[in-house]
Amino acid sequence: MNRPSSTDRAVTPWYPTLFVLSLLLILAAFAGSRAQANECPELLRHSFNSLQTGVPQDLCQYQGKVLLVVNTASYCAFTDQYGGLEALYRRYKDQGLVVLGFPSNDFGNQEPGSNQKIAEFCRLTYGVQFPMFEKTSVIGPQRNALFAELHRRTGEQPRWNFHKYLIDAKGERVLSFGSSVPPDDRRLIEEMRKMLDARKTLKRNT
């Protein structure tokens, strides 16, 4: 039986091998993207428009962070809590804390302004840098999906402006704090630090 000559071997088509390798790379990338999506906790699988830009923001970008979710208002007896929230954010953001603000006009008509006016007020009055989203409803049938789920998990919904939900880095444990609990409250800080410490352990083990 005649063996293929060196010339025959040289002209053997190579593109089927390249096609197979390309297909494998595409499948691997697709599987990786699906796995990454699946890592995002169900609680964070929501998108809201940025208060400042109106651009949709996927909350999954905050997966692995400890979150403090707050419904806010510009004309409330608790409005000065903006300062405490910003101080908390700046102090602990490098350790993994993110404060998320959701302006709402649900209580006492205390957030009547446009998104632009709210953004300007927060920036100019309190120097707010933590992420904030467009005005929304946080109670009742029109409430947004995140606050509906936070209510379901804790059994508590906001009764007034500046209610706070503290969420651990896994997006599983949620604690609820009423409006009268300031951002520097001892219990809130202790629970937040526990979650930040647990986050460090989680990162080391992954």
Q: Which residues are catalytic?
A: 76
Q: If phi over 0 gives left and psi between -120 and 50 gives alpha, with beta otherwise, what is residue 59? A: alpha
Assess contact for 97 and 133: CB atoms under 8 A.
no
How far the first Cα of the chain sits from its last, in Å, is 57
Task: Determine the Cα–Cα distance for residues 160 and 60; give it in Å rounded to an integer.
Answer: 27
| Other CB atoms within 10 Å distance of the CB of residue 106 | 21
User: Closest Cα partner for 109 from 140, 73, 135, 162?
Assistant: 73
Burial class of residue 138 (count of CB atoms within 10 Å of its CB; 0-12, 13-18, 19+): buried
Distance CA 123, CA 115 (A): 12
